[in-house]
Chain A
Amino acid sequence: QKEVEQNSGPLSVPEGAIASLNCTYSDRGSQSFFWYRQYSGKSPELIMSIYSNGDKEDGRFTAQLNKASQYVSLLIRDSQPSDSATYLCAVGDTGRRALTFGSGTRLQVQP
């Protein structure tokens, strides 16, 4: 059973701080990793994808991947109240065109 684990939260950070969201996965052969943001009542929105070890930056978002530790994280710099949402980590299922989702971490950014 391939698993993706996330802390359900809520993770509460003050406005302007760095929010750090973490995810571990069980399938050592996984090659693609994604972060989705989902506001309450809305559909998931892709915000980052990462395929290689290291960091990938896009605006205020940085995704970090460590395949040896089977760990992927998302950093949100200068957090804003509009970043308050559930963040879903998704891992590509090797050999299938399917994603395995973690249960999501709820982020609350306090004004």
Chain B
Amino acid sequence: DTEVTQTPKHLVMGMTNKKSLKCEQHMGHRAMYWYKQKAKKPPELMFVYSYEKLSINESVPSRFSPECPNSSLLNLHLHALQPEDSALYLCASSQITGTVISPYEQYFGPGTRLTVT
């Protein structure tokens, strides 16, 4: 089973709202990722969690706040977003092994289509 689930599928929010995106995987993966993808562009890495600890923050604005409550769940809290933050937000997960320094396969969820008005 290589399923990563994300909720909600679609989200419309105003610039003063606070909302959260949720991601869940039950593959036993210990690395989880948030990506942002704009139309006709590749996914752009935002955050990486390894063993529930934030290991990479790609200089993402503080209006995006990630959280990893346990090894299966990943949240992205949104506050005071701008219209240019409208995009497809993708969650992914992968396994980790101690001897491999390169990433293993990453499996993506279906994404949340976010529109900021």
> Interface readout for B20-32 with A: 1 if CB under 8 Å, 0 if not?
0000000000010
Contact B90 A92 (CB under 8 A): no
Q: Does A46 contact B (CB under 8 A)?
A: yes
Contact between A46 and B107, CB atoms less than 8 A apart:
yes
Q: Which residue of A lies closest to B32 (CB)?
A: A97
Q: Which residue of B lies closest to A104 (CB)?
A: B42
CA separation between A92 and B41, bound complex, in Å? Answer: 18
**Contact at A94–B102, with CB atoms within 8 Å?**
yes
A95–B101 touching, CB < 8 Å: yes
Residues of chain B at interface, number, CB under 8 A: 25
Contact B55 A97 (CB under 8 A): yes
Chain A interface mostly: loop
Q: Is the CB of B103 within 8 A of A96?
A: yes
Contact A45 B108 (CB under 8 A): yes
Q: Determine how close the nearest CB of chain A comes to the CB of B101; give it in whole angstroms.
A: 6
Classify chain A's interface size: 20 to 34
Pair B31/A97 contact, Cβ less than 8 Å: yes
Closest partner residue, chain B, to A4 (CB atom): B42
A17 within 8 A of B: no
User: Among A31, A43, A104, which residue has its beta carbon within 8 angstroms of that of B90?
Assistant: A43
Contacts of B43 in A (CB 8 A): 44, 88, 101
| CB < 8 Å neighbour of B108 from A30, A44, A92, A103 | A44
Which residues of B sit under 8 angstroms from A34, Cβ to Cβ? 105-106
CB nearest neighbor in B for A48: B105
Q: Can you list 25 A-B contacts with CB-CB less than 8 angstroms, sorted by A residue number? A: A31-B101, A32-B103, A36-B108, A42-B111, A43-B88, A43-B111, A44-B90, A44-B108, A45-B108, A46-B108, A49-B105, A51-B102, A92-B102, A96-B55, A96-B56, A97-B55, A97-B94, A98-B33, A98-B56, A98-B103, A99-B45, A99-B103, A101-B42, A102-B42, A104-B42
Chain A contact residues, CB within 8 Å of chain B: 30-32, 34, 36, 42-46, 49, 51, 88, 90, 92-99, 101-104
